[in-house]
Amino acid sequence: MNRIVLAAALLLALPFSALAQSGAYRDTSMLRAPAGVPVALYEFEDLECPACAHAFPIVHAAVEKYKIPLIRRDFPLGGAHIWSFDAAVIARYIQDKISPQAADEYRRAVFASQASIATKEDLNAFSMKYFQSHGRAMPMIIDPNGLFAAEVRADHTLGERINLHQTPSIFIVTQKGYTEVTDVTQLYAMLDTAIAENPAPAKGAAAKPRTTAHK
């Protein structure tokens, strides 16, 4: 009995990420930096996830500080996260029809307003106001051909290939492989190490940071 109690106590002491992501990764072939890039960040996020909201400013500040690319994938978890898929579709629309920067701003605004968005109707009302505040009208049908929904599902399929079960899932990727960031407060220290071990080519200017939602 004492061994059972001890095992239960040790399990409870594990961080949430270790519990949620306890399954072994399967296919990690996509977790590499883009061609010619020594170090990049690769993130799977869910717009309804509080931990993703916490990580968002840290990740984006790191992208600016280190001048590295961010490869972002949408990974709506479903279940209790009832509007995250729709929010990702709207963000994809903004990225394609307005600009990647505007899409980043929308994602940031959604994260900041998570507590006030409880339903799909709340998300729709929030998004309409967001479009209006930026001098635009939100289309009645945001994705008539299902193209943006297909992009979100493709990202989700990538996460399933890896065997992801939680968000955010953040990886520092190089040409050689990846390192998972399980504690976002350690991101800068981990990037310092990765950049020191994978220096950029000496010639040419530093690459401008960029965010890609799907490539």
Model pTM score: 0.83
**Per-residue pLDDT at 40 exceeds 60:** yes
pLDDT, mean of residues 109-122: 98
For range 35-55, the mean pLDDT: 98
Q: What is the mean pLDDT of residues 59-84?
A: 97
The mean per-residue pLDDT over the stretch 5-26 comes to 46
pLDDT digits (tens, 9 = 90+) for 162-187: 999 999 999 999 999 999 999 999 99
Q: In this predicted model, what pLDDT tens digit does every residue of 63-74 receive, in sequence order?
A: 999 999 999 999
Per-residue pLDDT, averaged over 96-106, amounts to 96
Which of 5, 88, 82, 11 has the alpha carbon at shortest distance from 44? 88
- What is the per-residue pLDDT for 13? 40
Average pLDDT of the residues of the chain: 88
- Asked if pLDDT for residue 193 goes beyond 50, the answer is yes
**Residue 158 pLDDT exceeds 60:** yes
Q: Which residues contact 136 (CB under 8 A, 6 or more apart)?
A: 98
Nearest to 74 by CA among 113, 33, 110: 110
CA separation for the pair 36, 14 (Å, rounded): 38
> Looking at residue 212, what is its pLDDT?
61
178-181 and 70-74 beta bridge pairing: unpaired
Q: Which superfamily does CATH assign the domain made up of 15-212 to?
A: Glutaredoxin (3.40.30.10)
* pLDDT value of position 200: 86
Residue 81, SS3 per DSSP: coil
